[in-house]
Structure 1
Amino acid sequence: LIDIIERSCQLKAKIVAEDEREESGQRAILNYGHTFAHAFEAVTGYRELLHGEAVAIGMLCASRLAERLGRIDRVVTERQVELLAKLDLPTSVPPLDRTKLLEAFRRDKKAEGGNVRFILPSRIGEVELVEGVDPDEALAALDD
């Protein structure tokens, strides 16, 4: 586990150094799962989930959303579920107020003018910033 954490820190430092001012979009990969995670944290008052737990669930929701939008195959999400379960991280969304989640999505730092943007996988190990996502599609991904 220590080796994984060390490698993760090295990769993050490299990505941040290469896109320090977030101009190239390369740093988007570091926000994978965070649009959902920040909404979960805000709605629960930062009391029910640790940040890493919220991000793990958020990654799966982002992957399910990418599936719904036809951007990836289900096997990508299934692989993530397997890996997160092996790490003993949560893989299911707790019951949350959907109206409050929508409000939290719109307040996310990546949102522009109320337009919700998500970092979604395009394949294992690659993500992209997707704009104009229908918030109802994002909510539906919570139930998949």
Structure 2
Amino acid sequence: MGNDTLTLISGEKKGCIKNIKVGPYPTKALFTKDGEYIVVCESNLGSDQKGSISILSTKNLRVLYRISVGNSPVDMVIDDNICYVSNFGDGTLSFVDINYYEETNRIKIGGMPRGIVKEGNELYVGDNYNNVLIKIDLESGNKKNIPIGGEPTGMILI
């Protein structure tokens, strides 16, 4: 963070392949399932501006689209064509359609959402402020808070 670049590295070459200029304060990057694109979460931390999600081509490593999301996005997970983004600064989740390059929904969950994972039709979001894991049923919209303590930040499914 700090120089607004995404660094591509090679395990085989044991080093940096290329630094790519992206938006302010990138916090995470993921490949799409087909490997055609890199999706970058750009947080704009410390700024009054909202964050964004950028979509880069893996063919030419250039930013093709930039989609505005909530305040200080810090994590994301991609499932098919939807990128779910945790907006730490305003207590929301953004749903971004990466095929149509637009935010299609934003829901308020409160607190400071951080780590996010998806399993089936459920999202799990760590709320760093309230020390809970929020389980969200994407079909019904129902939310359940699960106390876990200790500022949950990153998660992985096992």
Q: TM-score, normalised by structure 1?
A: 0.27
Bigger proportion of residues as helix: 1
Which fold has the larger relative contact order, with Cα–Cα distance below 8 Å and residues 6 or more apart in sequence?
A: 1
Greater Rg, structure 1 or structure 2? 2
